[in-house]
A = this chain, B = another copy of it.
Amino acid sequence: MEQERISDAVARRLPGYYRHLRELEAAGVTRLSSRELGERMGLTASQIRQDINRFGGFGQQGYGYHVPDLKRCIGEIMGLDREHAMVICGAGNIGRAVAHYPTFRNEGFRVLALFDVDEALVGQAVQGAPILHFSVFESFLAEHDIEILVIATPAAHARRALEMASAAGVRAAWNFAPVDLSVPEGMEIANVHLSDSLMSLSFRLHERDIRQGGASKRWIKE
């Protein structure tokens, strides 16, 4: 039987489950209830149960969840039990920040190389991954089995990098360029909008002003 595509809301919550379970496991917690997990994550116990049941249900009535088992299962669901080969287009601040980021390097995501057109950067290495000239990008893709392209170029170059990767059979793109890229046939894409969380934060500040009566505006128009 074919599985239904999991909703974006659930797909977005999965990494949060994994993070919290990893922290709990590291703190020596072996079991907890859906209510306790919900309190940690800002979700209701029933949302927790629904989400986890979506993947088969790992809890037991009256016992709750076994933390290491649930963490391992959610990790497998996200494919963290295997290696993911990545390349990064753009070796500027964002590209280098991604190559340095510790969290996912420990989870099997491996950066094989970075690509840039800046001759001053070519020849350097970031965390052992060489910075190569973009002119060899296509031949590199042909010679290596790359699963994920990280796009950290200026907006104007993002589409070209994506198209070259798609043609070479790369399966997914993690896009940091400030432009929403539509997904080529057969690929998955995640568009990261760094400033979205800043704007949500700014909204919360404005909301707080309104709640405290310190602002002249209200949401509701007269």
**Interfacial residues, chain A to chain B (CB-CB below 8 A):** 2-3, 5-6, 8, 11-12, 14-16, 18-19, 23, 42, 54-58, 76-80, 84, 92-94, 96-98, 100-104, 107, 109, 147-148, 171-172, 174, 178, 180, 188-190, 192-208, 210-211, 217-221
B79 touches A12 (CB 8 A): no
Cβ of A178: which chain B residues have Cβ within 8 Å of it? 101-103
Cβ of A221: which chain B residues have Cβ within 8 Å of it? 56-58
B204 touches A11 (CB 8 A): yes
Choose one: B197, B198, B219; the contact of A55 (CB below 8 Å).
B219
Cβ of A220: which chain B residues have Cβ within 8 Å of it? 55-56
Choose one: B5, B97, B107; the contact of A211 (CB below 8 Å).
B5
B201 touches A188 (CB 8 A): yes
A171 touches B205 (CB 8 A): yes
Q: How far is the CB of A120 from chain B (nearest CB, A)?
A: 16
Q: How far is the CB of A221 from chain B (nearest CB, A)?
A: 4
B174 touches A197 (CB 8 A): yes
Choose one: B8, B97, B148; the contact of A97 (CB below 8 Å).
B97
